[in-house]
Amino acid sequence: MVSIVVGLIVLLGFAIGSSGFLSSASAESPNPAVKKVVATFTGDARTTKGFTWYTSLASTQSDLQLVKKNGKSKKKPNFKKALTFKGTSSISSNDSEERMHKAEAKGLRPNTEYYYRVGDAKRKIWSMVGVIKTAPKKNDAFTFLELTDPQAKTEEEGQLAADTFKQAAATVKHFDFMTVTGDFVDNGVVEDQWDWLINNSQKVWGNTTVVPAAGNHEGKNHAFIDHFNLKPATSNTDTTTGAYYSFDYSNTHFTVLNTNEDSEQYRDFTPEQVNWMTNDIKKAKANGAKWTVVLIHKGPYTTSNHASDADIIGENGVRNKIAPLIGKLGVDLVIQGHDHIYARTLPINGDNQATHPKTITEWVNGQRMTYSVNPDGTIYSIPATAGPKVYKKNTSPELGEAFYSKFVRAEENHALKYGLDPSDPSRPVRGAIQNFSKVTIDQKKISVVVYEIDRMKGTTPYIIDQFGVVKK
Question: What are the tens digits of pLDDT across the range 109-135?
Answer: 999 999 999 999 999 999 999 999 999
List of domains in the chain: 20-133 (2.60.40.380), 142-470 (3.60.21.10)
Q: Which of 265, 270, 282, 264 is nearest to 244 (CA)?
A: 270
Please report, rounded to a whole number, the percentage of residues in the chain having pLDDT higher than 70.
94
Burial of 199: CB neighbours in 10 Å, binned 0-12, 13-18, 19+: middle
Q: What is the pLDDT of residue 29?
A: 82
Q: 179: which strand partners? A: 146, 211
Closest CA to 37 of 29, 45, 122: 29
Candidates 38, 63, 31, 32; CA nearest to 53 is: 38
DSSP summary character for residue 441: E
Tell whether the model's pLDDT for residue 7 goes beyond 50. no
At 74, the pLDDT band (50, 70, 90 cuts) reads confident
pLDDT-derived band at 236 (thresholds 50, 70, 90) equals confident
User: Does residue 185 have a pLDDT over 90?
Assistant: yes
Give the C-alpha separation, 312 to 18, whole Å: 43
**Buried-state track 328-347, b at ≥16 Cβ within 10 A, e below 16:** ebbbbbbbbbbbbbbbbbbb
Strands 291-298 and 252-256: parallel
234 confidence band (pLDDT: 50, 70, 90): confident
Can you tell me the distance from the alpha carbon of 277 to that of 441, in angstroms, rounded to the nearest whole number? 22
Residue 369: pLDDT band with limits 50, 70, 90: very high
How far is 46 from 303, CA to CA, in rounded Å? 37
9-35 mean pLDDT: 55
- Cα–Cα distance measured from residue 375 to residue 344, given in angstroms and rounded to the nearest whole number: 15
Work out the average pLDDT over 412-417.
98
Q: Give me the pLDDT at residue 6, please.
A: 46
Question: In degrees, to the nearest 5, what angle opens at C-alpha 312 toward C-alphas 308 and 317?
Answer: 140
CB atoms within 10 A of CB 71: 7
The DSSP element (H or E) to which 284 belongs, if any, is helix 271-286
Could you tell me the pLDDT band of residue 138, with boundaries at 50, 70 and 90? confident
Average pLDDT for residues 413-430, to the nearest whole number?
A: 96
pLDDT at 39 over 90: yes
